[in-house]
């Protein structure tokens, strides 16, 4: 019996999530941060290149050589305490997932950088989200 295309898509997305969660489990438990970073890059690139639920268009997958990711730099690795912050709910309209709700659960202070709000993703697969933006954010051709 054929599988409806919607069911196939749902199964592909479930498998994508399972593989991403497994990747993060391996990365978090790796004894060496630099090799964990290398595995994270390689695994993500392979998922983007070959998985049925990849966000890349099928015609872009053959020529895909990887996402632009900076080399591992231990100076940017932190273990930080989560500080209290006033609770706040934020709903973000996305192009593919509809409205995605976030709940602020705290804040972290990065030495020589400043504080960043820490959010709980209140839908999808759950998890924590620490949004960052660099000096090119919001500029033409920027990030």
Q: What is the mean pLDDT of the chain?
A: 88
**pLDDT at position 89:** 95
Residue 34 has pLDDT above 70, yes or no: yes
Across 56-89, b (16+ Cβ under 10 Å) vs e yields eeeeeeeeeeeeeeeebeeeeeeeeeeeeeeeee
Q: Which residues contact 53 (CB under 8 A, 6 or more apart)?
A: 9, 12, 13, 15, 16
User: For position 13, what pLDDT does the model report?
Assistant: 86
pLDDT, one tens digit per residue, over 77-130 is 888 999 999 999 999 887 777 888 999 999 999 998 899 999 999 886 678 888
pLDDT score, position 4: 60
Residue 32 has pLDDT above 90, yes or no: yes
């Amino acid at each position: 019996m054929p599988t409806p295309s919607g069911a196939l898509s749902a199964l592909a997305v479930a498998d994508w999530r399972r593989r991403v969660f497994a990747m993060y489990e391996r990365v978090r438990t790796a004894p060496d941060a630099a090799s964990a970073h290398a595995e994270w890059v390689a695994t993500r690139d392979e998922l983007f290149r070959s998985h049925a639920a990849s966000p890349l268009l099928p015609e872009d997958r053959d020529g895909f050589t990887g996402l632009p990711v900076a080399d591992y730099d231990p100076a940017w690795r932190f273990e930080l305490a989560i500080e209290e912050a006033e609770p706040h709910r934020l709903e973000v309209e996305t192009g593919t997932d509809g409205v995605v709700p976030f709940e602020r659960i705290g804040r972290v202070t990065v030495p020589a950088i400043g504080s960043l709000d820490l959010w709980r993703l209140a839908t999808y697969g759950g998890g924590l989200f620490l949004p960052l933006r660099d000096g090119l954010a919001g500029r033409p051709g920027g990030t």
